[in-house]
Structures are given as structure tokens and as C-alpha cells.
Structure 1
Amino acid sequence: MVKMASAHALAGAAALMLWITGAGYTQEPAAPAQSPAPADAAAGTAAAQTVKLGYLRSWEPTLALSALDIPPEDIGVAGAEVAVADNNTTGSFMGQTFTMDVVTLTPGDDVAGPAQTMLDSGVRYIVTDLTGEDTLKVAELAAATDAMVLNAGSTDDDLRGERCRPNMLHTAPSRAMLTDGLAQYLMWKQWRDWALVAGSHPDDQKFAEALKRSATKFGGKIVAEKLFADKGGARATDSGQALVQRQIPVFLQDLPDHDVLLVADESEVFGTYVPWRTWVPRPVAGTAGLTPGSWHPASEQWGGAQIQNRFEDASGRRMESKDMQAWTAVRVIGEAASRTQSVDPATIAAFVKSPDFAVAAFKGQRLTFRDWNWQMRQPVLLGTEASVVSASPQEGFLHQVSELDTLGVDRPETTCDLGG
């Protein structure tokens, strides 16, 4: 009879397998936990212990100014499913099994019912791709059962600020992180004078405010601002394109001299039409042109080719930012379960929030959570439609704790109160 390996050895084997298959950063894997909970000591000899996750999102088919920008129906979900498979590969060493229930709502649907159903079924980890308001609702419901919500969708800064919650963690970057990453690159290039054109919808204005905050933070200068009001119309038709092609240059004609034109158009009303239609030849950045994100379909550095290939085999397309954010959220739970050799929700939550926790996500360094607002530290990739141009933090932007903390709201300026 073959002697069963110890839980400690199994955890080490699982860590080694993650390392071999492409952990995504250059540091050596962390040592497994030294003192597993007694209740989990026989994980390798008993039936598989199940970790139940939920994925709650809002989605409907949407139009975009470019057909290439229409989000695929499985956006985010595909990344989470690959991560569940990765968790199960690692978990097989310790008798851990991961499952995920996916619920897709139509925008405007009430999230309370589906979220409560997940919680009542024993789900203690809910990955969300929802509006900021709905993400907060789910977190408040989940608090009653000490469940954890991993926000993989909303970039709203106030979810990391005055509306933060102790059980709400963020693998999606905040808008402040995205615009800080862009601003660092523009300052590194010494393109210091920026003109700003923003859409009229609330999310457009939030992105514009984040850009202005980043300009103040890093020394950029907003030399002019313009508002592009959404008046409706058939923007995606041939006549709509022809009309915008005539409108955009004239609309931008009176801007003062500037190095870069910044666009804040999360609502996809006009931004895609701005590059190559400006009055004067200037680079475009923001939500069009050079755009910041947590990931890019062309990213293949730091082992990225490995996750891209696995993702493409599973979904038939390249990985988008929301896919990576959802993948990372699910991997957070898998990593914690393997390191603690436990499926106990309290044990996993405590480890995720501890200084010892880190997860690899093919971005060149270990990703950790900020303990003042539970935002995941992560690089910001800057890219065009076809390629990654750069990654922030940029060279020369230093920080006393982590250079990643130059992106977004730092500890001294946070408005988040986690209650202790």
C-alpha cells in the first residue's frame, strides 16, 4: 500500500505545480502554511472538500462605435471558468474541489434575490461584474453570512473610498489607478499639456474627474476642457460616421495648443471617432487611442502567452481585462485554499487579508491587497487596439512601500473606514 503524503507535502506540490505552469511573476513561490487547521489535516484522505463560488453579473447585447469593441457574451465569465479549472488542478493535490454558479441579469434587474439565493445555498465567495450600486448591495447582503464579495467589474472609486466595506475586495482596478497609470506614462514622455474632451453621461464624468485628479497628482496640466453632449442619433450607421467625421475636427478646432488630447467616453458615444479626426495632429489617450487597463489581449510578457493560450483554447478568443479580473478573483480563493490547506471560509478570508497573501497574475510581480480599502495592487497596461505600449508604474515613480501604490488612492489620502 502506498503511504499517503502529508498535507504539508501536498501543499508544497501544489505550489510547485503552479510555479511550473506559469505563475506569472519572477519571485519564488511562497512556502505553504506551517500549521493547517486540525479539521483539514486529512484533506488528502477524505472525499473532496468543496468550495462553492458564485458569479453574479449584469449583461445584455450592446452596440459600440466599432464592431470590434462589442463585448462578447461570455466576457468575464470565461476568465472565471478558466480559473475554476486552474483551482481544481491545484486542489486535486489536497482533495479540494471548486464549483461556480453563474447568474446573468439584465441591466436594471434587482440583484438582491439572486444574491440571497446564492448565499442561502452556501456560497461564501461571490465574484461580481455589476454597477457600483449593485456591487454594494451584494456586499451588504453578504455581510450577514460573513461572505466575501470580489468586485471584478466596477471601477468606481467610491467603492474603495467612502462606500468601502470590510467584506468587499476589488480585483478590478479603480478609475484612479487607470488614469494614474496613463498620467505616469504621459509625464514620462514629457507630454505635460493635456486637452480634455468628456462625454455627458455620469460614467464619462467620473473618468474625466479621475483624469483631472491624476493631472494634479503628477504635474500634468489640463489646458482646456470640452463637453461632448450625447444628442442621440444613428452613430453607428454610414450617415452617422460621415456626420461625426465632419463634426469632430470642427468641434476640436478651438482648443489651445496641447501635447495630448484626453478622451473620457466610457459610454461609447464619440470617443472611438476621435483618433485621426482631430483638427491638429495630436496623440489621443483615455478611453480611446492609448487606453489603460488591467490586461490587454496582446499581452504575452511574464508568462502571459501561457494564460492567453489556455484561455483561447477554452473560449475561442483572446483574454480581455474583465476576463483577467474575474480570473484573478477566483484564483484569490484558490490560492488561499491551497496555502492554508483549508476550505473553511473564516480561515480563507483571514489569509487573504493577511500580509502573507499574494497571487500571481502574469504581470511580472506578486499582487497583494491594500489593507486600507481591499483594492488589489496591480500594474496598469497601456495599449492600442493591436499592442501593449507600456506598463505602469513607470520608471522613476517611487514609493516608500510599493511602487504599485503610486497608482490610485494611497493610504494617507483614503476616505475608506473599515471599522477598525
Structure 2
Amino acid sequence: MFAHQRDTKATAGLKHTLKYLTRQCGAGVVLLCGFCLSGAALADLNIPIAYVKQVSDESVVSLSVYRSPQNSGVAGAELGVKDSNTTGRFLKHHFDLTVIEDTQADALMASVTLWLKEHKGALVVDASDEVLQALLSTPETASTLIINATNKSDKWRKSQCQAKLLHTSPSYAMLGDALGQFLMAKRWRKWLLVEGQSEADKAMAAAYERASKRFGTDIIARKTWTFNTDLRRSAQQEVPAFTQADDYDVVVVADTQNRFGYYLPYNTWLPRPVVGTHGLTAVSWHSAIEQWGAVQLQNRFYEGYARAMNEDDYNGWLAVRALAESVTRTGVNDPDRLYAYLISDKFELAAFKGRKLTFRQWNGQLRQPVPLTQAYALVSQSPQQGFLHPVTDLDTLGYDKPEVTCQMITE
């Protein structure tokens, strides 16, 4: 009788705790009720995760106010681990995060290789094409699950995708399509495209050009910003002259390093909206997103780090939460089984975007809506209404299955 009373009190306490966690961390924790209330025997399961960050040592021209925080991305992964451990302790699942960072690719790779020799875990990668290629070519990572959290390069989704490489960061093509759909919905069909000189600027501009062709708009002129002047003093003279062209509906800017894009709004030759990397932007996350319960995530992050959650933070959080969800559902930490579950039709992730997120089996890209934001507000979210797809409208963003030339191993 007394044992029964103790069990009843314990069960009631657990139910109360789960209700609290559901409010704090989302409805996904309800899954734990079945495990915990059934009294199933659970074994301790440790899941090591390494956040691999290539720290930039480049001198950036932009003002310091526009620079990313030093813990950008890392903070999101840390919050993801904290959220996962909050719910995982009921299943005796413990997630442990190690941050590996360096400015030099060789030194970073050496540290990752050493970590992999001591841990059977997953990698969340925040690095360049060079480092990502090195990771995929290293024998030590052959059986490792790798989640790319920040690299937007389309080649990893179109021609160089491979098994056990997943992406929580939207690609350039996804961002370009998200913006292109919105411009079409507004009937802004004539674009003036302005791009910077970096490789990332060219990749972003190519994505906008692809979107223009895809949706039938007209790029009336394409210009490259080559000036090195201090625009804080000369923007009202330089920008109007530079943006002279035939009539256009919108200025589309590709300036990934914030060298000139902030000075285009309100200074263009024609009084037109500015979109792209500045003005109205397509992003994976923004501090203004508060719908779909996102305010809970935003507040938890701000309380922990005294700043807003940025795109890299969110993508790092997504990577850890995807891993945790797969561990919760499968009850294992084997990378092969986790990967198989993540790209299966059974996987879905609630991530404060109003839709369940899933991975594309043909290139490992996480399907997700793409918010369109300005400085202080969420303006819209793509896919836009009316853009249809035979499977899901989320696949109207980025490279669809027929457009991908690489082969993914899905078994």
C-alpha cells in the first residue's frame, strides 16, 4: 500500500514536471511520458557533440557594431544541449558539448581528429568549404555524423552532397528563392542587382540570378561594388551615382560582409526598396520572430547570453536539437542508426517556425520556412502562397530532387 502511494506521488510529480517542461521547451517532451510512466528500464546513454568553429582572422571593413559575437553559433549549440539535457535526463540521456575552434584549418583539423579518437560522437560544423572538405575526406570521420550549421554553399546540396552530411543552415539557393517568391508576389519584376567582390558575395548574387530566371523576373542591370571609400561620409554622393540605371522596381544587394549594403537604403538613384543581404532580408532566424511560441526560445537565449539569437545561433541550436530528437526516438547513439532516422519519413522537428521540419533525402538539407525580415520586424515567410509543389511547398525553396546531381546513401 505504501509503495503504491509512493508510486502515485512520484507519478503525479513527474506529470507536473512534464507539464512545466512542455511549457518551457515545447510539446516534444510529451514523448517522455510513455517512457517514464511505464517504468521501463533505461540505461545511461552519453552523446558527445563537438562544435567545430573556424574563427575568422580576416580584417573586416564594416563597423564593429555589425560584427558577429565571438560566441556566435556556439551559444545556440550550448542552449540546444541545455534544452536536450533538461528533457533527456528522464531517459538517462546526457548530451555533452565540446567547442573546438581555431583560425587555421590545419590546426582545427588536428584538434577534431584528436577528439574523434577519444569520442564516438557527432560534429556540428561552423566552417569554410576548405575545412568541410577536409572533414569529409578524413578517414576518422568516415563513420561520423556531420551537421553543417553555417555554410551556405550550394555545391554541398547540389553536386557534392554525401551520406552522413546534413545541413541545418539554408543554402544560398533557398535564401534566393525565398526572396524571389516574395518579390514576385509583390510584382516587383525589374531588379537592379548590386554585388560585392568576395566569393560569398558572388555566390549570393548567383542565387539571386537563379531565382530571377526561375520566377521570370528581369535583371535590368548587374553592378559590382568596387569602391573603398568611407561611405559614412560619402554615401549620399556615391550611392545615387552608382545606382543610376533604367527603371527598376527594386535593388537587390549581395554584400555578405557588410561592406556597403547598409548605405544603399534611401540613397538609391530611384526611390526604390532595397532587398537581399540588406534592407528586406531572407534569413534562417531573426530576433523579431515571436510567433509559434518562438518568444520562449528568444527569451531563454537572451537570459543566457544577454544578446539576441542570430542565424548561426539558431542553426547550431537546430543541429543539436535534431540530434537529440533522433536519440530520443531511437534510444541509441550509433551514428549510422541516427543518420538513417534523421533522413527517414519518421523524423520531424518542431522548431518555432510554424511547420514541422524534415531533412531532404536527396541532399541532406533541412526543409524549413525562410523568414523575410527588416531591422525590427518579421515581414513575411516563404514559401509564399501560390507556389505549389507535388510533395511539399517547402521544396520550392532551394534545389529540388531533379536538380541535384549527387547521390545520397539513404540506407
Q: Note whether the superposition's TM-score is higher than 0.5.
A: yes
Q: Note the 1:109-128 alignment, pairs <5 A.
A: 110-128=107-125
Task: Tell me which of 212, 219, 224 is aligned to 2:221.
Answer: 224
- Range moving further from structure 2, 115-124 or 145-154: 115-124
Task: Tell me which of 78, 84, 87 is aligned to 1:87.
Answer: 84
Question: CA separation in 2, counterparts of 1:150 and 1:130?
Answer: 11
Aligned match of 1:416: 406
Answer yes or no: is 1:52 the counterpart of 2:42: no
**2:90 is paired with a residue of what secondary structure?**
coil
1:259-289 residue CA offsets vs partner (Å, 9 max, x unmatched): 0000111132211111111111000001111
- Structure-2 change in CA distance of 1:272 and 1:360 (3 Å): same
Answer yes or no: is 1:260 the counterpart of 2:247: no
- Give the C-alpha shift of residue 67 in structure 1: 3.8
Answer yes or no: is 1:379 the counterpart of 2:375: no
Question: CA separation in 2, counterparts of 1:159 and 1:344?
Answer: 24
- Structure-2 change in CA distance of 1:15 and 1:224 (3 Å): farther
Question: Is the contact made by 1:119 and 1:142 (CA closer than 8 Å) also made in structure 2?
Answer: no
Question: Which amino acid letter does the alignment assign opposite residue 23 of structure 1?
Answer: G
The number of residue pairs the alignment matches comes to 397
**2:137 is paired with a residue of what secondary structure?**
helix
The structure where helix makes up a greater share of residues is 2
- Structure-2 change in CA distance of 1:246 and 1:72 (3 Å): same
Question: CA separation in 2, counterparts of 1:203 and 1:14?
Answer: 46
**2:285 is paired with a residue of what secondary structure?**
coil
- Structure-2 change in CA distance of 1:15 and 1:147 (3 Å): farther
Task: Tell me which of 256, 279, 286 is aligned to 1:296.
Answer: 286
Question: CA separation in 2, counterparts of 1:76 and 1:260?
Answer: 32
Aligned match of 1:38: none
Q: Note the 1:136-285 alignment, pairs <5 A.
A: 136-141=133-138, 144-229=141-226, 232=228, 235=230, 240-253=231-244, 255-285=245-275
- Range moving further from structure 2, 213-222 or 60-69: 60-69
Question: Which amino acid letter does the alignment assign opposite residue 322 of structure 2?
Answer: V
- Give the C-alpha shift of residue 325 in structure 1: 0.3
- Give the C-alpha shift of residue 193 in structure 1: 0.9
- Structure-2 change in CA distance of 1:115 and 1:15 (3 Å): farther
1:316-366 residue CA offsets vs partner (Å, 9 max, x unmatched): 111111111000000011111111122333332221121100111100011
- Range moving further from structure 2, 52-61 or 147-156: 52-61
Aligned match of 1:42: 41
1:212-269 residue CA offsets vs partner (Å, 9 max, x unmatched): 000111122111111112x545x3xxxx42134321111112x110100001111322
Normalised by the size of structure 1, how large is the TM-score?
Answer: 0.87
| Alignment root-mean-square deviation, CA | 2.7
Question: CA separation in 1, counterparts of 2:153 and 2:31?
Answer: 35
Question: Is the contact made by 1:139 and 1:167 (CA closer than 8 Å) also made in structure 2?
Answer: no
1:154-193 residue CA offsets vs partner (Å, 9 max, x unmatched): 0000011111121110000000000100011111111111
**Structure 1 residue ranges without an equivalent (≥5):** 6-11, 36-40
- Structure-2 change in CA distance of 1:347 and 1:419 (3 Å): closer
Q: Note the 1:363-374 alignment, pairs <5 A.
A: 363-374=353-364
**Structure 2 residue ranges without an equivalent (≥5):** 9-14
1:45-72 residue CA offsets vs partner (Å, 9 max, x unmatched): x4x3210000001124764634432111
Answer yes or no: is 1:351 the counterpart of 2:341: yes
Q: Note the 1:2-41 alignment, pairs <5 A.
A: 19-23=22-26
Higher relative contact order (CA 8 A, sep 6+): 1
- Structure-2 change in CA distance of 1:142 and 1:111 (3 Å): farther
Normalised by the size of structure 2, how large is the TM-score?
Answer: 0.89
- Range moving further from structure 2, 389-398 or 241-250: 241-250
Question: Is the contact made by 1:294 and 1:381 (CA closer than 8 Å) also made in structure 2?
Answer: yes
- Give the C-alpha shift of residue 142 in structure 1: 6.4
**1:258 is paired with a residue of what secondary structure?**
coil
Question: Is the contact made by 1:136 and 1:159 (CA closer than 8 Å) also made in structure 2?
Answer: no
Question: Which amino acid letter does the alignment assign opposite residue 192 of structure 1?
Answer: R
Question: Is the contact made by 2:343 and 2:358 (CA closer than 8 Å) also made in structure 1?
Answer: no
Question: Which amino acid letter does the alignment assign opposite residue 50 of structure 1?
Answer: N
Q: Note the 1:380-395 alignment, pairs <5 A.
A: 380-395=370-385
Question: Which amino acid letter does the alignment assign opposite residue 269 of structure 1?
Answer: R
Task: Tell me which of 405, 414, 420 is aligned to 2:395.
Answer: 405
Question: Which amino acid letter does the alignment assign opposite residue 101 of structure 1?
Answer: T
- Give the C-alpha shift of residue 4 in structure 1: 8.9
- Structure-2 change in CA distance of 1:66 and 1:283 (3 Å): farther
